Amino acid sequence: DDKKKLRRLEMKNQEVLEEIKSIKGEMYGEKGYTTKERMQMEKKTRSLSQENNKLEDEIIQEMESLEKKEEEIKKDLKELEEQQEQVKRLEEIWKKESGDLKKEYSRLKKRIGKLKGEVPRDLLDKYESLKETSNLNVVAMVKGDICMGCKVSLSSSVVGKLYTPGIRLTCENCGRLIFLGRCKG
């Protein structure tokens, strides 16, 4: 649109220049003109010269505007290219990290399967049952006589039973599977 406008201005300017040239050619040609006719032709030439100057100014303004727009487009294209490069880098990082995460997930899943095989079946069933009915962690450590899951003191009989190997106990308050925590000194 801007280029078309510039082209129209250039064509109009060319027409004005040709008309000026034509009038000057007639004025100084072989045909004789009266002084009044020459004055009218000079007046017409001055008027056309002013129009020519105005058109040239418009052409210059239009060219400057066009150059600015082209610079903005170049700047925007450069910015777009930089953003596309950033997207590529981020996609590569994402692919690498998602691949690493998939490997880690697979490794952990195998480890969980192996550990499940080491846990007695009745305890695993109890754990799965509690997990289905609760949104909380279903296993809690006991420190002293406190269930660390709900922070409530347990009865001395429950705490005493924790020292008996093979017994599976749950907290009287929160229902979590409990185990005796060892203090590391």
* Helix%, strand%, coil% for the chain, nearest 5: 70, 10, 20
Q: Which residues pair with 146 in a beta bridge?
A: 143, 153
Write out the two tokens for 99.
């691949």
Cα-atom radius of gyration of the chain, to the nearest Å?
Answer: 46
For residue 184, what pLDDT is reported? 52
Residue spans of the domains in the chain: they are 2-75, 121-180
pLDDT in tens, 96-117: 999 999 999 999 999 999 988 8
- Percent of the chain past pLDDT 90, that is, above it, reads 54
